[in-house]
Amino acid sequence: MGHRTGAGGVELPLFDQNRAQIAKAEYVHQQALKVLDALERELTQEAYVGFERATTAAENARFYKEKVLPLRETGLSLAQGAYTAGRATLLSVQEAQRLLLEARAGYVETLMNHALAIVELERVAGRPFQRLLESAASAPAGSLNSDADSQHEEDE
């Protein structure tokens, strides 16, 4: 059954005509699903790493701005006051200036690291940082993937 004998006694399959192509297509589809799963995992990992970098850089910049810079500015002010009163040398004032300049350079470096981390996060997410923040603020806890799904639906 399923075969017909043609001229010369050769059996011709009637129902198995596309089974090989179907099996091949199913195999290719399964492989594509595995690649997609691996890419999703990789992008998720990159997003977490990017988020942590951006968060750490922001915390470092805040630390410099709120703690390190005010301390160095106070140190310079005290050194200048002591020099004016004749209780310190010009070298101590210059050292305080150097420390303040180093702190400012460190602050600028943390701002640069923060900006680079945000750019990397935007690259991984495929959308501007502001939209990421808006999505995170409006999404219920644990449902950040729904925003990606709705973006995918919008693209189609």
pLDDT of residue 15: 58
Residues 95-154 pLDDT 10s: 999 999 999 999 999 999 999 999 999 988 888 888 888 888 887 765 544 444 444 444
Closest CA relative to residue 95, chosen from 107, 83, 105, 85: 83
State the helix-helix crossing angle for 90-125 and 129-138, rounded to 10 degrees.
70
One-letter identity of residue 13: P
The pTM assigned to this predicted structure is 0.66
pLDDT band at residue 29 using 50, 70 and 90 as cut-offs: very high
One-letter identity of residue 131: R
Beta bridge partner(s), residue 12: 4
Residue 107: CB atoms within 10 A of its CB come to: 18
Closest CA relative to residue 80, chosen from 90, 65, 67, 69: 90
Distance CA 69, CA 47 (A): 31
Residues 33-87 pLDDT 10s: 999 999 999 988 998 998 899 999 999 999 999 999 999 999 999 999 999 999 9
Residues 13-27 pLDDT 10s: 555 667 888 889 999
Return contacts of 123-126, CB within 8 angstroms, 24+ apart: 124/43, 124/46, 124/47, 124/50, 125/47
